[in-house]
Amino acid sequence: HGYLHRSTGGFNRDEVETLLEKIRSGEIDRLNKRANKRETSGTLLPDTAHTKICNRLCSIDLEPAEIIWFTAIALFRLHGLTEDKPVSQLAELHPSDFINPAAYKLLSERFNELSMDTQAADFIDSARLIDAIELPKLKPSDTDIAGIIYQALCRRGSRSAAGSFYTSPKLTETLIDSALQKLPEEPRKHTFIDPCCGSGQFILSFIKAGGSPGKAIGIDSDAAAAFTAGVNILLQCPDYDSAPMIFTADSLLSELPEAAGKIGPFDLAVTNPPWGAATAGMRKALAERYPAVSSSESFSFFISRCLELVKPEGVISLVLPESVTNVNRHKDIRQHILEQSRISRIDDRGRAFSNVFTPVVTMELIKSDANKKSSPDADSGKNCFNINMSAEDTAIIDSIYNLPHTSLEGRAEWALGIVTGNNARFISDRQTEGFEPIIRGSDIAPGQITGPSSFIRFEPEQFQQSAPEWKYRTAEKLVYRFISKHLKFAVDPDGLLTLNSANIIIPGEELIKSGWGAEQLAALFNSDIYNFIFRKKFNSLKVLRGHLEQLPLPVLSKSRAHDDASLGLSDRQIAHIKNSL
C-alpha cells in the first residue's frame, strides 16, 4: 500500500513510526476500520459457562433472531415468568402458560414479526434443542445472559452492520451511578433514555440503581436487539407486568415513539453509540437533520441527538473513542458540546473492548446554556478536551504560563524534511559519489545528532517535498524528531539536509536577541519540564508546529540569564514532573 519501503536491512524505522502514528490517528481509512466497532468482532462472553451455552446455541441451524426467541422462553421459565413446562410447549404461546403477562405479550409480538410456523418440523425440533441445552444451569442472577447470547449469535457469520458490543456491567453501573449523583431527586423519579440501547445494559443498570422500568426508554434500529433488551428487563424485574418501553426505530431520523414522547424530555441519556462514518445512504439526511455535525461520524450524531432528548440540566453519559477529545476531524462535535453543555467529567477507560484497538473514554455532560465553565478535566484551548491533566498538573503548567514569556510563533523560520517520493532511488545507507549525509528523526537524540545513518542524492526538483535549500544549509539551526511522544531537539552546526521525520526551526533575530538561540531552545525543549508540558497538553505522537508555537519561552533578564532551570517550581513540583515522565 506504499506505507513502507524495504531497504537494506529491513524496513525503515521512521516510516514504521509514521505508519504507527497514522494508525493511531485514523488517517489511514483501511486501518481505521479496525478501531470501528461497526466492523470488528470482539470478545463478548464474560465466563466459561456462558461460552459453552453460546457455542451450543450457535450450532442450531436457525437465524440468530429465532434462536433468541426460543432462548427467551427458556430464560423466562428459569426466572419464574412461565409455568414449568418444556420450551416446546411454552412456544405454542398459550396465555395460561405465562405467569407474567408482559412476557407473553413480548414473545407474541416478536413471534408475529418473525413469521414462524408453530406446526413446522424445524420449529418443534428447535424448541426441543433449546430444552436439551440445559439453560437451567444458569443462575437466576444472570440477568444479562440474553444480551450475551444475542451478541454471540451475531458473530456467527458476518457481523451486524450496527456493530453491537458487550459493555461490561461494571462500566455501565459506574456511568449510571455517576450520572444519578448529578441529579437532585431519588432515582425512581427520574426519566431515562438510551437511543441505541442494544441489549439494554444501561437500562438494566439504571433499574438496578433504583430507576423505574416504566420510566426507562430504549430504542434500537435492530429489532432483535430491541427484543433482547425487553427480555433482559423482564428477567431483571420478573414482577413487572407491563410491557418494557423498548422500541425498534431509527432514533436519529425518526420522531420518538408516542409512548416515549409522553415521558420526555429526559433526565438522563446514557449510551454506547456506534463508532465510524454513517452509511453513505444516510449521510445527506443526517447532515440536514444535524447541521452541527460535518464529519458524518455516527457517534457525533448520537451526541447531538442526546443533547436534544434531555431537559435543561439533564445528564448525558457516553462511551466514545479517545479521538473525540483531540482529533481535528471531531472538532465539530467538540464545538457543539461546548455550546450546548458543560463537561462534568471525562475518564480514560483504556482499551475497553477486546479487539477494538482505539483507546476509549467516557464523557459525562450536563445540558446547559453555552459559555458555562466546564470541568478542569476539559481544556477547550484549540477546541480540544484535555483528559491527561490532574489538578496538580494544571497548577504546575499554569504557573509556568503565568511567567512573562514569548513564543516561537512569528519569531522563527520553519522547514519540513524532504520527502523524496522514491527512497530506493535517492536514499542509501552508504556514502558514495553524489550522495551526502541526511538527518533522519531516528538520528536525533536530546542534545545530539547520533548519525547521520543515511545519505541522499540531492535533486530537489525531483522530490515530492523539499523546503528552500537555504533552510537546510543554515548553520546553527534546530532539528527535532517529528514522530515522537517526547521532545528531542539538537543543534545542527553543519547545515545538513533532513528527511521528513526530522524538521527544522531557525530562530529569528528577535528570539536570538532575547536570549533564545538554537542552543538555548534545544536545552529548554529537551528538559523534563517542557517534556511534561508537551505530554500533558498535547498527548501526541507527532511534534507539530502548532504545539511548539504554544510553548512559553520565559522572558529572561540579564540577572537570571539561563540559571533558573526550575522556572520557580518547588522541589515537590519538580519531583511530580519527574514521576510523571
Domains of the chain: 6-33 (no CATH), 405-580 (3.90.220.10)
Q: Which residues of 421-431 are buried (b: 16+ CB within 10 A; e: fewer)?
A: eebeebbbeee
User: 539: exposed, middle or buried (C-beta count within 10 Å: 0-12, 13-18, 19+)?
Assistant: middle
Pairwise pLDDT comparison (505 vs 393), residue with the higher score: 505
End-to-end CA distance of the chain: 35
323-358 confidence digits (pLDDT tens): 898 888 899 999 999 999 999 999 888 766 655 667
Q: Using only C-alpha atoms, what is the Rg of the chain?
A: 30
Question: Backbone dihedral region of 327: left (phi > 0), alpha (psi from -120 to 50 degrees) or beta?
Answer: beta
Residue-level pLDDT at 142: 58
The answer, yes or no, to whether residue 15 has pLDDT greater than 90, is: no
User: 121: exposed, middle or buried (C-beta count within 10 Å: 0-12, 13-18, 19+)?
Assistant: exposed
Q: Which uninterrupted H or E stretch holds 258?
A: helix 258-263
Pairwise pLDDT comparison (349 vs 195), residue with the higher score: 195
Dihedrals phi, psi of 137, to nearest 5 degrees = -70, -15
Alpha carbon distance 471, 413 (integer Å): 8
The answer, yes or no, to whether residue 522 has pLDDT greater than 90, is: yes
Grouping H, G, I as helix, E, B as strand and the rest as coil, residue 292 is: coil
523-543 confidence digits (pLDDT tens): 999 999 999 999 998 888 899
Q: Which uninterrupted H or E stretch holds 577?
A: helix 571-580
Lookup: cell for 113: 414479526
Pairwise pLDDT comparison (98 vs 88), residue with the higher score: 98
The answer, yes or no, to whether residue 162 has pLDDT greater than 50, is: no
The DSSP symbol for 442 reads G
Average pLDDT over residues 416-444: 93
382-397 confidence digits (pLDDT tens): 567 877 778 889 899 9
Alpha carbon distance 476, 505 (integer Å): 10
Average pLDDT over residues 53-80: 84
User: 478: exposed, middle or buried (C-beta count within 10 Å: 0-12, 13-18, 19+)?
Assistant: buried
Residue-level pLDDT at 3: 54
Residue-level pLDDT at 2: 53
User: Residue 257: how many CA atoms within 13 Å on its side-chain side?
Assistant: 15
Residue-level pLDDT at 159: 40
Alpha carbon distance 571, 578 (integer Å): 11
- Stretch among 87-91, 178-182, 213-217, 409-413 having the lowest mean pLDDT: 87-91
User: 159: exposed, middle or buried (C-beta count within 10 Å: 0-12, 13-18, 19+)?
Assistant: middle
The DSSP symbol for 29 reads H
Alpha carbon distance 389, 397 (integer Å): 10
Distances (CA, A) of 97 to 13, 108, 240, 561: 68, 13, 17, 88
Average pLDDT over residues 491-497: 96
Average pLDDT over residues 145-170: 64
Whether the Cβ atoms of residue 442 and residue 482 lie closer than 8 Å to each other: no
Whether the Cβ atoms of residue 252 and residue 223 lie closer than 8 Å to each other: no
Alpha carbon distance 270, 306 (integer Å): 8
Distances (CA, A) of 44 to 95, 196, 224, 275, 402: 34, 18, 17, 17, 49
